Amino acid sequence: MSQPELDYNQKRQARTPHNIFNMNVILVHLFAVVILFELNLIHWFWVIPITSLSIMLLQYFYWKSLLIKLKSDLDGYWYVAANWSLAIRHNRIVFISYLICGSIFLIGYTISNSMTSDPNMSNIGMMIFLYLSGNLMLLTLVITFVLSSGAIWHTNKGEITRVLEKIKAGLEPSSDI
């Protein structure tokens, strides 16, 4: 299959969702965590997932509006829409990781507070579950960051990967009546 020639504007628009995702990972998950630790504001950690989920939700709404626009002009926007769909997949992975890590943290909170009346022992138990959920979240963020960086590299070259071809096939309206 021959690859269509993509202009600079399409490549730039296709890069945008991945850049937003990577900036979310870098600024919100890395720098904000370090700042909150350094300022000893651990009780403000709820701001990080709220901010990140808000960014992901805005990306989702823009993607939905792009899909509506795509119905009228498949040829012009499919590459951009496919890259937005790929970024939404990465957001979905992070969201699922939030659910799993939040569940681990809540289970740990419940276990550590119900097992002993000693506050020091419950703090030790909480730290164990906090590290488990935090490390799982960090691993997920690193993996999705690498995937998104690879997608940026492919869009800079204007390459159409197998994943984008599969997404394009899913974006095309079916001819079944």
Decide if pLDDT at 71 tops 90.
no
Looking at residue 64, its pLDDT comes to 93
Going by pLDDT thresholds of 50, 70 and 90, the confidence category of residue 175 is very low
Supply the mean pLDDT for the chain. 88
Degrees, nearest 5: CA angle 124-98-146: 110
Number of residues written out for the chain: 177
> Rounded mean pLDDT of 43-61?
94
83 exposed, middle or buried (CB, 10 Å; 0-12, 13-18, 19+)? buried
CA 129 to CA 117: how far, in whole Å? Answer: 18
Looking at residue 20, its pLDDT comes to 97
Going by pLDDT thresholds of 50, 70 and 90, the confidence category of residue 43 is confident
Looking at residue 143, its pLDDT comes to 97
Residue ranges per structural domain of the chain = 19-171
Going by pLDDT thresholds of 50, 70 and 90, the confidence category of residue 124 is confident
Looking at residue 75, its pLDDT comes to 65
Encoded amino acid at 52, one letter = S
CA 82 to CA 59: how far, in whole Å? Answer: 13
> Rounded mean pLDDT of 54-66?
95
Which pTM was predicted? 0.87
Give the three-class secondary structure for 31.
helix
Going by pLDDT thresholds of 50, 70 and 90, the confidence category of residue 177 is very low
In tens, the pLDDT along 24-34 reads 999 999 999 88
Residues 80, 168 contacting (CB under 8 angstroms):
no
> Rounded mean pLDDT of 13-41?
92
Full DSSP string of the chain: -PPPPPPHHHHHHHHHHHHHHHHIIIIIIIIHHHHHHHTT-GGGTTHHHHHHHHHHHHHHHHHHHHHHHHTT-HHHHHHHHHHHHHHHHHHHHHHHHHHHHHHHHHHHHHHHHHH-S-HHHHHHHHHHHHHHHHHHHHHHHHHHHHHHHHHHHHHHHT---HHHHHHHHHHSPP---
CA 71 to CA 135: how far, in whole Å? Answer: 41
Looking at residue 1, its pLDDT comes to 44
Looking at per-residue pLDDT, the higher value among 159 and 72 belongs to: 159
